[in-house]
């Protein structure tokens, strides 16, 4: 097996993908807010979506179209989520697909719509319609960075990563973008992610791959515990690699290829949490010693989403009692306080449910003052473990969300 793939904050061109962006004035006149991806014929496309029962209109339409046709175009807008808009929202999403199909010479069912932004407002289809002809006429392969910026809402930085993986004689490229800074707890958040590779992967296998990778990356992060109505994570395999053979789990290089896709998604996931609304710290909650991974996840999210823990993170306050209390209310059955251990990175705070002899709060505070650190918690002597990424709650989180629609 090849070594861990190197991920770069850049947009390696993926043969079979062309992109364009334009300012459509969807919410703010000066912002580039509309993005179009053209996908070459024969590509495989798969995705996972929000588990929010009240999913947005574009999610509903995208699911329908994925089942009906082979996707040729993605159309993505920021500034308006087209969620909570009822039958009118579905009509608007389908109209955007129709408009794109006429300009792209494909069926409307081959167009997948995505939206992010304010919930509960009608999509300004007329503004999108006015911007689409220019957009479709200016597609190019090297506009991944433009796309990463066009899909931003409260994000402060674009999120774009690439990796290249050597599989035998063939080098495969993988590039992905994502947006998200608040309303983030993907179970599959207001999160959108689009990842593409030039590898040849059958759709059924691609669907299994995106579900598995998302579960291990995007579904292991939280900013505020809120799952959006619009979450979508799409994986595209164009099949345009020069000497590419069909990739599948029985291939000896499959694990290397999966490692490349996972590395890009992991980098995007970390970037989302690092850019959390008002966040100043990226913290990994690592749980070990559970009987099952599900138990570990339950304990991890109890800590990662605790407002008391998150405000202590912001203050660099090693108030370990808040961590202990969060684990204790997590709902994991059979917890015993004498089994609990807590450490900040390698610095032990709690052993067997009690403070470590010689514990120095000043050392703990110094660790918590850094931009990135781990909270490591053992909950028993089981073999299961997991990690969830979270961030702190600052004054700015409240300000950003209080002023979101102003």
What pLDDT band is residue 153 in, cutting at 50, 70 and 90?
Answer: confident
Residue 253 lies in a domain: yes
Residues 141-161, mean pLDDT to the nearest whole number: 93
Higher-confidence position of 117 and 64: 64
Same structural domain, 236 and 336: no
In angstroms, the CA 267 to CA 3 distance is 17
What's the confidence (pLDDT) of residue 55?
86
What's the confidence (pLDDT) of residue 396?
82
Percentage with pLDDT > 90 across the chain: 80
* Residue 227 annotated as catalytic: no
pLDDT for 393 beyond 80: yes
Residue 308 lies in a domain: yes
Higher-confidence position of 155 and 323: 323
Lowest mean pLDDT among 24-28, 183-187, 307-311, 369-373: 183-187
Residue 1 lies in a domain: no
Same structural domain, 42 and 183: yes
Higher-confidence position of 180 and 106: 106
- Out of 274, 309, 334, pick the residue that ends a domain: 274
Same structural domain, 290 and 269: no
pLDDT for 42 beyond 50: yes
Q: In CATH, what number is assigned to the domain containing residue 42?
A: 3.60.70.12
Same structural domain, 268 and 311: no
What's the confidence (pLDDT) of residue 3?
61
Residues 39-47, mean pLDDT to the nearest whole number: 96
Residues 374-381, mean pLDDT to the nearest whole number: 97
Same structural domain, 226 and 289: no
Residues 235-241, mean pLDDT to the nearest whole number: 96
Query: Per the residue annotation, which of 21, 153, 154, 190 is the catalytic one?
Result: 190
Q: In CATH, what number is assigned to the domain containing residue 385?
A: 3.10.20.340
Residue 2 lies in a domain: no
Model confidence pLDDT, tens digit, residues 325-367:
999 999 999 999 999 999 999 999 999 999 999 999 999 999 9
Q: Is the pTM of this model over 0.75?
A: yes
Same structural domain, 95 and 126: yes
Same structural domain, 229 and 131: yes
Task: Print the domain residue range for 388.
Answer: 282-402
In angstroms, the CA 80 to CA 104 distance is 23
What's the confidence (pLDDT) of residue 1?
44
Same structural domain, 358 and 267: no
Same structural domain, 213 and 328: no
- Out of 274, 306, 322, pick the residue that ends a domain: 274
What pLDDT band is residue 278 in, cutting at 50, 70 and 90?
Answer: confident
Same structural domain, 248 and 301: no
pLDDT for 189 beyond 60: no
Residues 159-168, mean pLDDT to the nearest whole number: 95
Mean residue pLDDT of the chain comes to: 92
Same structural domain, 270 and 298: no
- Cα-atom radius of gyration of the chain, to the nearest Å? 22
HEC secondary structure over the chain: CCCCCCEECCCCCCCCEEEEEECCCCCCCCCCCEEEEEECCCCEEEEEECCCCCCCHHHHHHHHHHHHCCCCEEEEEEEECCCCCHHHHHHHHHHHHHHHHHHHCCCHHHEEEEEEEECCCCCCHHHHHHHHHHHHCCCECCCHHHHHHHCCCCCCCCEEEEEEEEECCEEEEEEEEEECCCCCCCCCCCCEEEEEECCECCHHHHHHHHHHHHHHCHHHECCCCCCCCCCEEEEEECCCCCCCCECCCCCCCHHHHHHHHHHHHHHHHHHHHHCCCCCCCEEEEEEEEECCHHHHHHHHHHHHCCHHHHHHHHHCCCCHHHHHHHHHCCCCCCCCHHHCEEEECCEEEEECCEECCCCCHHHHHHHHCCCEEEEEEECCCCCEEEEEEEECCCHHHHHHHHCCCC
- Out of 232, 255, 274, pick the residue that ends a domain: 274
What's the confidence (pLDDT) of residue 188?
42
What's the confidence (pLDDT) of residue 154?
80
Model confidence pLDDT, tens digit, residues 224-234:
665 566 778 99
| Structural domains in the chain (count) | 2
In angstroms, the CA 13 to CA 299 distance is 40
Same structural domain, 357 and 243: no
């Amino acid at each position: 097996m090849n070594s861990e793939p190197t991920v770069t904050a850049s947009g390696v061109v993926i043969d079979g993908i062309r992109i364009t962006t334009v300012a459509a004035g969807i919410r703010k006149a000066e912002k580039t807010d509309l993005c179009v991806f053209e996908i070459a014929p024969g590509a495989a496309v798969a995705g996972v979506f929000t588990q929010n029962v009240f999913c947005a209109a574009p999610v509903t339409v995208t699911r329908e179209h994925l089942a009906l046709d082979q996707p040729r175009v993605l159309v993505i807008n920021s500034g308006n989520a087209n969620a909570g808009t009822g039958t009118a929202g579905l009509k608007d999403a389908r109209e955007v697909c129709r408009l794109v199909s006429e300009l792209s010479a494909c069926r409307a069912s081959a167009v997948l719509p995505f939206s992010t932004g304010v919930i509960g407002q009608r999509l300004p289809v007329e503004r999108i319609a006015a911007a689409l002809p220019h957009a479709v006429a200016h597609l190019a392969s090297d506009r991944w960075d433009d796309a990463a910026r066009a899909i931003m809402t409260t994000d402060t930085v674009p999120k774009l990563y690439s990796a290249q993986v050597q599989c035998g004689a063939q080098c495969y490229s993988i590039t992905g973008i994502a947006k998200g800074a608040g309303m983030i707890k993907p179970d599959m958040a207001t999160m959108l992610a689009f990842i593409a590779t030039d590898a040849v992967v059958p759709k059924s296998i691609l669907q299994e791959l995106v579900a598995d990778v998302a579960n291990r990356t995007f579904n292991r992060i939280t900013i505020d515990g809120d799952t959006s109505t619009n979450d979508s994570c799409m994986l595209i395999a164009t099949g345009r690699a020069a000497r590419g053979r069909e990739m599948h789990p029985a291939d000896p290089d499959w694990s290397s290829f999966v490692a490349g896709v996972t590395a890009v998604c992991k980098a995007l996931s970390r970037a989302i949490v690092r850019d959390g609304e008002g966040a100043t710290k990226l913290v990994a909650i690592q749980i070990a010693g559970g009987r099952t991974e599900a138990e570990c996840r339950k304990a991890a999210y109890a800590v990662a989403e605790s407002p008391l823990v998150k405000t202590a993170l912001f203050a660099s306050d090693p108030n370990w009692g808040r961590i202990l209390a969060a684990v204790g209310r997590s709902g994991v059955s059979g917890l015993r306080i004498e089994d609990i251990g807590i450490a900040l990175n390698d610095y032990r705070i709690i052993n067997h449910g009690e403070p470590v002899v010689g514990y120095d709060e000043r050392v703990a505070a110094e660790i918590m003052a850094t931009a990135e650190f781990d909270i490591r918690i053992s909950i028993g002597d089981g073999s299961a473990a997991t990690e969830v990424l979270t961030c702190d709650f600052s004054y700015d989180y409240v300000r950003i969300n209080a002023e979101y629609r102003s």
